Structure formats: structure tokens, C-alpha cells
Amino acid sequence: MTTTTRSTKACSLLPPAGAARNLAFAQLANSVGDGAFIVTSALFFTRVVGLSTAQVGLGLTIAWLVGFLTGVPLGNLADRKGPRGIAILLALSTAVSVGSFLFVRSFPLFLIAAIAYASSQTGLTAARQALLAGLVQPAERTRIRAFLQATVNAGLAVGATMGGVALRFDTAPAYLTVFAIDAASFLIAAVLIHRVPAVKAVTLRVAGEPRLAVLHDRPYALLALLNAVMLMFMPLLSLVAPLWIVERTNAPGWVVASLLIINTLGVTFFQVRIARSVTSLRTAARSVRFAGVAMLAACAVFALSAIGMAPAGAAAVLAVAAALLTLGEMKLASGAWEISFGLAPADKQGQYQGFFGTGPAVARMLGPVLLTTLVLGWGPIGWLVVGALFLGTSVATGPAVRWAARTRSAGQVTEPSLPEECAA
């Protein structure tokens, strides 16, 4: 293997050495914990903590609602006090909140711990994004963010495997071990974040300017809303597709797991490559528009799986749908990162990323009810309605980006050029 080949492969798997790589390893550490949490949390809370399913659902809904509301204030705190220090504190508070689940055995204490967990997670995301914006040049942010996203998916896969082992044993010690590892993963993330350089805090505020300026930025708010609608795709593979497969298709049950594998591996290996084409606000809007087309196609193929074909044929059709949805996810992510960074003032990245980052919380709260009602209630027509929603939202993103760009001063919007390294 030549030196050029080795360096090319290293470039495709890891971000450049230094701050970006440390951030990637920090993401890897806590995404392993997240993967284990996602797989085991429902059974842990019911079988170990002793809560009813209704209590778990209510508690997590309240927790993520509070997390949604605290994202902007915590992001603003990262701007004012420095994103590295706040990110470390929030990683530690996440570890403490996860660790507390090991000991709580009542709904009130569970609710407190869940609120602390959701708020810490939302704030940590905002602080990490602000830290990335402060450490990486504008031309590199989307590319580095793509590396981080690929790392996240790899970590989720590892964590989900660990969670699967706990589910196999289905004992309290197994679940407790997984949650202890989850808490430890955030301690490791805090150590890795501490290794990156500090970003200077913004201590001055323009006279008369609101403390949370992002809440008064209507174009950016519109873009955050459009992004939240696009993120409604998130429950499709984890919730809607499994129910659809069981109720409406002849596909075997193992297809559910295969769709998640296609998604995880696709993002892990192709997100960086997909992000290379996004180098400006214009190409970001185009990427989001492409995502809408891919998601519409995926929904149409999902609808096709209900026509009564043989199990093998249904499985193949569903695999194609998952691949199209994964392509849409990667194109959406690439465009959204460029938009969220490029239109945020340099001294307010924390609060702006905190606001834009509320999209997943909104999607988690509203997506399951909306999508299950449309798809499972309306059948194939429901899939097409969902696809049309994605397409329409993606098309509206372009005009919204142009509106937001017009409201910025000349030096406030950065249109980066394509970096030479790894651009081929």
C-alpha cells in the first residue's frame, strides 16, 4: 500500500489530528453510552427502577420538553463563559444524571434525574457545536462535523451491541452494568474535551441588544423550524417502519434490524463523502433540497412494500427504502450544519446552535404521534403525504436561507471555499 493510499484512507476515517480528533473521540465515547441507553432504557426503567410504562413516557416527555427550553440559555452560557468549560461541566452533569438512575426507585426522583439528563444533553450539544465553531475555520466546519457524525454512528452501533447483550441476559445486574458504562462514557468525554484548546469567551454585549438574540432572529427561527420538520424522519426507522413491517407487509421480522444496520453503516462510511459537496449556503440549500427528494422517494418505496409481494421481495424493497432514507439523512445533515454555522454570528454560536439544535427534541416529541397516525392510519397514501411534507419543507429551505443571508451584514455570512485536503 502506498503512502498516498494510506493517508487517503486515514483521511476518510478520522478528522485531522488535534482538536478535531479529540472532539471526535469525545463524541465516540458518549455516543457509545447513548447507544446503550437507547436500547435498554425502556426495560431498565420498568424492570429495575419499577415504573409503569405510562410513567416512563410521561417522565421522558416532560424531560425533553425542559431540555428543549434550556438549549438556548445553556448555549448562551457557553458563549459567555467559554464553550470548553461549559461542555466539560455538562458532560459531567450528564454522567451524574445517568449515574443517579442506578439509585432512584420512585417517579419523582426519576423525573428529576430525567430532566437533568435531557437538559445536560441538549446543552452539551450546543456547547460542543460552539466549541467546534471556535476551533475550526468556517471552510472546514461542515467537513469536520461530518467526521463527528460518522463517529457518532459508529459509537451508537457499539453501544447498541452492548445494550443487546444486556437485553439477552435480561437481569437487573446486566442493566445496571450498562447504565454504569453509560455514565462512565460521559466522564471519558469530559476528559477528552478538556484536551482541546479553550475558546475565548464573549464578555461584551452590544448596548440595547437582547440577551438571547437568536429568539429575535426571525429568518434563523424559520430555518430552525424547517429543520425540525425535516428531522421528523428520525422516528421512521426506529418506530414507524417496524410497526409498518409487522402490520402491512409480508417481510420477515429480522428486516427491522437490517434497516437500522443499513442506516448506521451508511452514515458511518459515507457521511464525510456526502458532506464534501457542501461548501456554501447555496450548496447547503441544494443539499437540503436533494434530501427532500430522497426522502420522498424513500416514502414511496415504503408504500410500495405493502402491495403483497413475497417475503424476500418485500425485504429487498424495504432495504432500498432504508438506503434512500439514509441518503436523505446525510444530505440533510450536511446542509443543516452549513446553514446553522454560516448564519450564526461568530460571538453567539452557542445560543444559535442551542436553538437550531432543538430540532431533534421537537422531532422526538411530535414525530411519533404524527407519523404513526399518517402512515399506520392512512396506509400507502400516508407514506406519500409524509414524503410530500419532506419535499415541500426542503424546497422552502432555499428561499429561507436567502432571506436570512440578506438580513446579515456583509461580513457576517461566510461563504467558504472547498478545502484542498480530502476534497478529491
Q: What is the pLDDT of residues 117-135, one digit of tens each?
A: 999 999 999 999 889 888 8
Question: Which set of grid coordinates corresponds to residue 416?
Answer: 467558504
CB atoms inside a 10 Å sphere around CB 47? 14
* pLDDT in the model for residue 73: 92
Cα separation values, 155 from 28, 181, 279, 372, Å: 5, 13, 27, 28
Query: Grid coordinates 450536511 are at which residue?
Result: 334
Q: What percent of the chain has pLDDT over 70?
A: 91
Q: What is the CATH number of domain 212-424?
A: 1.20.1250.20
pLDDT category of residue 386 using cuts at 50, 70 and 90: very high
* pLDDT 10s digits, 241-284: 888 998 899 998 788 878 888 998 899 899 999 999 999 999 99
The Cα–Cα gap between 234 and 64 comes to: 15
Do you know the residue count of the chain? Answer: 424
Determine the average pLDDT of the residues in 198-218.
73
Residues 6+ apart with CB under 8 A from 8: none
Global pTM reads 0.81
| pLDDT at residue 417 tops 50 | no
Q: What is the CATH number of domain 18-202?
A: 1.20.1250.20
DSSP-derived 3-state class of residue 71: helix
Q: Which of 320, 34, 22 is nearest to 147 (CA)?
A: 22
Cα 260 from chain centroid (whole Å): 15
Return the higher-pLDDT residue of 229 and 169.
Answer: 229
* pLDDT in the model for residue 412: 52
* pLDDT in the model for residue 347: 82
The Cα–Cα gap between 352 and 341 comes to: 8
Question: Rounded mean pLDDT of the chain?
Answer: 86
pLDDT category of residue 365 using cuts at 50, 70 and 90: confident
Determine the average pLDDT of the residues in 325-338.
96
Among 36-45, 184-193, 301-310, 331-340, the range scoring the smallest mean pLDDT is 36-45
**CATH 1.20.1250.20 domain position(s) in the chain:** 18-202, 212-424
